[in-house]
Amino acid sequence: MKKIIILLIILFLLLNFNIRAKGKRGNLSNYYDGTVEVYESKSKNLYICLLVILLFSGYLIPSLLSYFFLKEPQVNFNTKYEINPPIKLPPAWIELLLKKHGKVSERAYSSTFIDLAFNEYIIVKEENKDYKIIMTDKEMDDNLSDDQKILLFLLRRIGKEFNLSDISKLNLKGFKQAFNRAVKENIYEKLKWINSRSKKYFLLNICLWIFALFISLVFFDLGIIIVSAHNLIFGLIFIPKCSIYTYEGKLMRFKWRAYKRYLKDKLEDLIKNNDNMTKIKDLIIFGILFGFHRKILKKLEEENILKEIFSKWFLTRQEKTNKLLKSLNIFISELNKVFRM
């Protein structure tokens, strides 16, 4: 509200300046004529009303669009814990489902990398202060998701063997765009868990204010220029947020949040009482994705099964388990750093 009041004061001052300037350009003898003064006073009032209406429209249109198109369905879900993954999904899909909009983080790339390693597509060998990535000859499985295939294509294109630091030397912009596009297509279009159809209406609102700004620039009207630019910026705020969950998507989000909560709260018992290696590997991938992999690795070390889990694809010169734990933590941190760039 304070910003609106300040903006109106600025517009009023600019309006005074504009109208006085217009009056001085006319015939001085007519300037003091009573009829002209009345005419200019009415024009001034109409101009102020126009600016107020335009400014109000800039807030009203996005607000109405949000009210009619950004209402999410009501889902009754009171379960605190989900003891099993609600559905088998690639790591990046889970993160986007929980975030709803935007791009996936470096943890999604790293957990996808580790997932490929557990599926015997990648071998990592510790060498000095770097890590050598060795691509296996395993044929690409059709069951891999599109984003997993995109990451695998990137790594194989670099070479048969290369250092982890070599990835950071590449321009990953195109790769990340393709990766995110593949994840969004599956979550938005294939599974239909998130709906972004309302975005076109918010874009029409943006086009409206771009047109108004263009016209005001042509006639160089400072008041309308400021209002149009303000409304354009305000409308752009809604563009990243014009995605809503469908009923199925919101329910699945609640379930994954309950499963994430279960992993964090029951981690110790979960590892201690679980002798299924596949589930433990999935637990590690989820730990990297959710940001608590260090606790998981530490607990696996205490249960003396850390080396057994990573021995097939993570090769280190250190034989002691505590050295393996340290090396794994450093490797995952470096992996996150590479994809963060």
What's the per-residue H, E or C state across 232-289? HHHHHCCHHHCCEECHHHHHHHHHHHHHHHHHHHCHHHHHHCCCCHHHHHHHHHHHHH
Host domain of residue 101: 91-195+244-340
CA 185 to chain centre: 14
Q: Domain check: are 181 and 311 in the same one?
A: yes
φ/ψ of residue 298, rounded to 5: -60, -40
Q: Domain check: are 117 and 215 in the same one?
A: no
Q: Domain check: are 107 and 225 in the same one?
A: no
Q: Domain check: are 172 and 36 in the same one?
A: no
In whole angstroms, give the CA distance from residue 209 to residue 94. Answer: 36
The residue out of 241, 257, 273 marking a domain boundary is 241
- In this predicted structure, what is the pLDDT of residue 36? 47
In a domain, 10, yes or no: yes
In a domain, 82, yes or no: no
In a domain, 35, yes or no: yes
| 296 CB burial (10 A radius; 0-12, 13-18, 19+) | buried
In a domain, 96, yes or no: yes
Q: Domain check: are 261 and 154 in the same one?
A: yes
The residue out of 208, 224, 241 marking a domain boundary is 241
- In this predicted structure, what is the pLDDT of residue 31? 42
Q: Domain check: are 324 and 279 in the same one?
A: yes
The residue out of 182, 213, 241 marking a domain boundary is 241
- In this predicted structure, what is the pLDDT of residue 6? 52
In a domain, 80, yes or no: no
In a domain, 62, yes or no: yes
- In this predicted structure, what is the pLDDT of residue 40? 55
- In this predicted structure, what is the pLDDT of residue 322? 59
Q: Which one-letter DSSP state was computed for residue 80?
A: S
In a domain, 170, yes or no: yes
Q: Domain check: are 249 and 143 in the same one?
A: yes
Pick from 60, 64, 15, 65: which is nearest to 40 by CA?
Answer: 15
Q: Domain check: are 24 and 162 in the same one?
A: no
- In this predicted structure, what is the pLDDT of residue 41? 63
As averages over each run of 10 residues, the pLDDT of the chain (341 residues) reads: 50 48 44 49 75 86 85 88 92 94 92 95 88 93 94 94 91 94 94 87 89 85 85 86 90 95 87 80 93 90 86 76 81 93 74
In a domain, 48, yes or no: yes
Q: Domain check: are 151 and 53 in the same one?
A: no
Q: Domain check: are 139 and 249 in the same one?
A: yes
Domain count, the chain: 2
CA distances, 94 to each of 21, 249, 266, 294 (Å): 60, 11, 20, 20
In whole angstroms, give the CA distance from residue 302 to residue 322. Answer: 10
Q: Domain check: are 100 and 177 in the same one?
A: yes
- In this predicted structure, what is the pLDDT of residue 231? 87
Q: Domain check: are 118 and 262 in the same one?
A: yes
